[in-house]
Amino acid sequence: MPSLEVAAVAINIAGVWLTARRNMMCWPVGMVGVALYLRQFYIWHLYGDMLLQGVYFIILGYGWHSWRISKKDQKQKSFSRSFMPKNLIAQAVLTACLGLPIGWLFSHFTDDPQPYLDSILMCLSLLASLWTTQKYIENWYLWILVDFTYAWLFLYRTDLLTSGLYTTFALLALYGNYTWKQKQP
């Protein structure tokens, strides 16, 4: 079903671009994109990635809700709140460690071709998504790492289109980091 993958790529690029631009439409567009990739990953037996898309759908709904704020509140709730670096690193390390037992489950109960890497990337992606919904600027740094790793992983799996998608995501994360920093108070 190459047309499913092509549509998923195009819609997901639009969703991330809208996020970088801080446009509320990023959330519903993203929901359509992850629904398409959920189906695609099921076809490919990439269960960690498939599960991730399902959770993304829920997180996107939460993000859409959390970004709906009045103009008055928007001045008080910046798009570039920051963690203390120690907290940021601790959250990322703990989240990556959470991926190990999930990887074990994938390796014993599924035919996932890279169960541990798949599960660690899944967990880190969820953390980056949650940081995005809370408007933490550090979300972009984690997305850059995760997206470049996914690009390599899909290149290894010889899926050039999805590898290109994650490369584009990483570049959009660089752009998002730049634009969000420009809007800091």
| Residue-level pLDDT, tens digit, the chain, 185 residues | 468 889 999 999 999 999 999 899 999 999 999 999 999 988 888 777 788 899 999 999 998 988 886 444 655 555 556 655 668 778 888 888 899 999 999 899 988 888 999 889 989 998 999 888 888 888 999 999 999 999 999 999 998 998 999 999 999 999 999 998 887 65
- Tokens linked to 131: 């940081």
- Domain boundary assignment for the chain: 2-68+82-182
CA distances from 137 to 110, 127, 162 (A): 35, 13, 25
Neighbours of 183 (CB within 10 A): 11
Q: What is the pLDDT of residue 72?
A: 45
